[in-house]
Structure 1
Amino acid sequence: MSIDVWGSEPIKPMLAKAVTDIPAGMAYEPKWDGFRCLVQRIDDKITLWSRGGKDLTVYFPELVAALLEATPARCLLDGEIVIITEDRLDFERLQERIHPAASRIAKLSVERPAQFIAFDLLALDDENLTTTPEADRRKALEAALDTDHDAVHLTAQTLDLDVAKDWFVRFEGAGLDGVIAKPLDGTYQPDKRTMFKIKHKRTADVVVLGFRLHKNSTEETPLLGSLQLGLFDETGTCQFIGVASSFPTAKRAELATLLLAQEVGPGDAGFDEHPWAEAATEMHDRRPGAISRWSGSQGRVEQEGHLIMPLLVVEISFDYFEGTRLRHNGQVVRWRTDREPESCTYEQIEVPTAVGISTVFDA
């Protein structure tokens, strides 16, 4: 079936299957960590589509202007929107760009401008390239894109496995997420996992200080939504680092029952000793290290925060820390009843050697 690359509805981007080792005999690219984006240009109209089909155009006016200068008059590109701060990727600042206020969007587009990293070409002029092999699409992309523009970049690519292994280790220091491997004869298959992604994976023992209930949780059948995680810093403050949230439905019910039995609130025994007690009782305060507010109410409102005592320890797997927080949600490996919460500190977190993003662009 022919893919309508010029339709008013976006096609779904091609996806990657997670593997543990970099496969041989492929084309390799750095794995950027931003917003996946399809760029459709028809004459002077640029549309930015998210992976889920959301129109992102209004949020990145500076990219619209840049892409009009750097792309052919009729094309469909696949790539990633990123923000770079102090010569490294800044995913937290990128998230702030999705804002309902036009004045805020205009302000941030100047203060924190985004950049676009192109890594595939799906259509050019009247030619649909989705059935063209990867190696030929790459050549067409290199010829079509104006890479002299400061805000539009062509991602690096190599056919050398040893170089890809070097990138996997070295580019993490610039905030990148790993390596993508593409079969050289592979066609572009929307919504199919025909590429391969190799991401960094580590483990850490962290503190469970609370939880949120799942959006489908009810009074009769409570379901766990996420575990609220923390680590102690050098001052003894337990900083919020993110959440663990992927559980089978049966496990969600089991864990919700367990954790609700340990919930504490103002007036309960042990509540005052909780590291986040003050934040939970002052509505204008936050959990240490958190971006969003923590609700201190005792009701069973959807996705409301609940504190627990005693604190628990869990081992999680994760890919990367952004400053003092997890960039993506952690995955529970096992409970650690043998660990004291206070022993869970930032000292166990490996910090990759810093490398400038310019090193990645120059690769």
Structure 2
Amino acid sequence: MDLPINPPVKPMLAKPVADIPAGQLYEPKWDGFRSIIFRDGAEVEIGSRNEKPMTRYFPEVVEAVLANFPARAVIDGEIIVADTGRNTLDFEALQQRIHPAASRVKLLSEQTPAGFVAFDLLALGDEDLTTLPFAERRARLVECLADAKPPVYVTPATDDLATARRWFAQFEGAGLDGLIAKGKELGYEPDKRVMTKIKHKRTADCVVAGYRVHKSGENRIGSLLLGLYDERDVLVSVGVIGSFSMAVREELFTEMQQLVTTFEGHPWNWAAHEQGERTPRKNEVSRWNNGKDLSFVPLRPERVVEVRYDYMEGLRFRHTAQFERWRPDREPASCTYQQLERPVRFQLADVLTSH
């Protein structure tokens, strides 16, 4: 490739803020794989957040880039997969697209095809645009992709705060992850947190049903495993909390010993579950952290903890939850899915056509 900007390039990042700032350009925060895509004629490279190419995993995106991008361009955006049945984003299906077998990659590209949502233009032709104000880069992006067809899209954007607040409330129902706010005069600064992101924050009371030890030693808690009861009164694994100081990890380890039990009779006795049901014990080696042991120590499900989370993906917290406080006043049986706030369903197609 011989572009004004060549791979790898680290993407510009966002820092979290509590509320939507005024006087910015606002975009939906897409829940996908961040990717800077480079096209130089017939050559295409799909970059990633960690600068490792993802080109081989998304052959259908390569085809879409060749059909829709300018002949020479560098465009920042997000690779997404849509659940066409629910008309929402499907991050879990997107994760499955990273597979070592070429035959599997080809099959998944047909079964769960990905798309690309563009939100910044870094280079066009022989021009390096990274020093231009974002508002100008945005206008150039809209212009150069004016005739693009699905699965290539330009993200919606607005400078109206009321519209941004409406998007923040509505778009979560289509599987989106909040808002991104960018200064209109902002140049493109790779690997710097110069944008802001606003995400939903909620709390839930969960049952603590197990723990994993910390990598630094057997007498420290690495993470606590959380559960919620479903309509069948089955305790379902919903996620973990794990952001503790080292002193607290040791204190928690001591506290939890009185609750340690065996897998016999435990709600997550993996051997008693039907194949395919989600439990913390299922697939003890993570495909995303090769060799990482995901086994856990079972606890009697008697303690309740209040945690902060942003949103659910299926039956689980989308991201790692955060400790809020212990709830000795709550009975474990009261920790059900019914307490959770569910966003009103919104159509992904309507998000992609919002301007």
TM-score (norm 2): 0.91
The SS at the match of 1:58 is: helix
* 1:210/1:305 contact within 8 Å kept: yes
Map of 1:237 onto structure 2: 234
1:317 aligns with 2:308: yes
**1:259: Cα distance to partner?**
2.9
State the AA in 1 paired with 2:47: W
Looking at structure 1, the residues matched to 212 and 74 of structure 2 have their Cα atoms a distance apart, in angstroms, of 40
Map of 1:343 onto structure 2: 334
**1:327: Cα distance to partner?**
1.2
Map of 1:138 onto structure 2: 138
Map of 1:105 onto structure 2: 105
1:253 aligns with 2:250: yes
Q: Tell me whether 281-290 or 236-245 shows the greater mean CA deviation.
A: 281-290
Looking at structure 2, the residues matched to 125 and 291 of structure 1 have their Cα atoms a distance apart, in angstroms, of 51
Map of 1:6 onto structure 2: 5
The SS at the match of 1:140 is: helix
Map of 1:157 onto structure 2: 157
**1:292: Cα distance to partner?**
4.0
Matches within 5 A, 1:144-293: 144-214=144-214, 216-219=215-218, 222-260=219-257, 262-266=259-263, 271-272=264-265, 274-277=266-269, 279=270, 281=271, 285=275, 288=278, 292-293=282-283
State the AA in 1 paired with 2:309: F
The SS at the match of 2:149 is: coil
Change (3 A) 1:339 1:147: farther
**1:68: Cα distance to partner?**
1.0
Change (3 A) 1:361 1:310: closer
Change (3 A) 1:258 1:217: farther
Map of 2:289 onto structure 1: none
Looking at structure 1, the residues matched to 312 and 14 of structure 2 have their Cα atoms a distance apart, in angstroms, of 22
Looking at structure 2, the residues matched to 204 and 20 of structure 1 have their Cα atoms a distance apart, in angstroms, of 19
Map of 1:68 onto structure 2: 66
Alignment partner of 1:81 out of 76, 79, 82: 79
Per-residue deviation, residues 28-79 of structure 1 (Å, max 9, x unmatched): 1111111111111122111111111121111111101101111112211111
The SS at the match of 1:52 is: coil
Looking at structure 2, the residues matched to 47 and 146 of structure 1 have their Cα atoms a distance apart, in angstroms, of 22
**1:156: Cα distance to partner?**
0.3
Looking at structure 1, the residues matched to 77 and 300 of structure 2 have their Cα atoms a distance apart, in angstroms, of 45
* 1:213/1:303 contact within 8 Å kept: no
* 2:301/2:332 contact within 8 Å kept: no
* 2:268/2:279 contact within 8 Å kept: no
The SS at the match of 2:217 is: coil
Identity %: 48
* 1:147/1:153 contact within 8 Å kept: no
Looking at structure 2, the residues matched to 359 and 41 of structure 1 have their Cα atoms a distance apart, in angstroms, of 28
Looking at structure 2, the residues matched to 250 and 158 of structure 1 have their Cα atoms a distance apart, in angstroms, of 46
Per-residue deviation, residues 307-331 of structure 1 (Å, max 9, x unmatched): 1125321111111111221111111
Change (3 A) 1:292 1:72: farther
Looking at structure 1, the residues matched to 211 and 275 of structure 2 have their Cα atoms a distance apart, in angstroms, of 18
State the AA in 2 paired with 1:197: K
- Structure 2 unpaired stretches of 5+: 286-291
**1:102: Cα distance to partner?**
1.2
Looking at structure 1, the residues matched to 315 and 35 of structure 2 have their Cα atoms a distance apart, in angstroms, of 27
TM-score (norm 1): 0.89
* 2:182/2:195 contact within 8 Å kept: yes
**1:255: Cα distance to partner?**
2.3
Per-residue deviation, residues 141-174 of structure 1 (Å, max 9, x unmatched): 1111255311100000111111001000011110
The SS at the match of 2:162 is: helix
State the AA in 2 paired with 1:22: I
Matches within 5 A, 1:344-363: 344-363=335-354
Looking at structure 1, the residues matched to 53 and 310 of structure 2 have their Cα atoms a distance apart, in angstroms, of 28
Per-residue deviation, residues 111-155 of structure 1 (Å, max 9, x unmatched): 000010000011111211111100110011111125531110000
State the AA in 1 paired with 2:255: L
State the AA in 2 paired with 1:265: T
Map of 2:93 onto structure 1: 93
* 1:217/1:302 contact within 8 Å kept: no
State the AA in 1 paired with 2:268: W
Change (3 A) 1:305 1:289: closer
**1:294: Cα distance to partner?**
5.4
State the AA in 1 paired with 2:156: A
**1:288: Cα distance to partner?**
4.5
State the AA in 2 paired with 1:75: A
The SS at the match of 2:97 is: coil
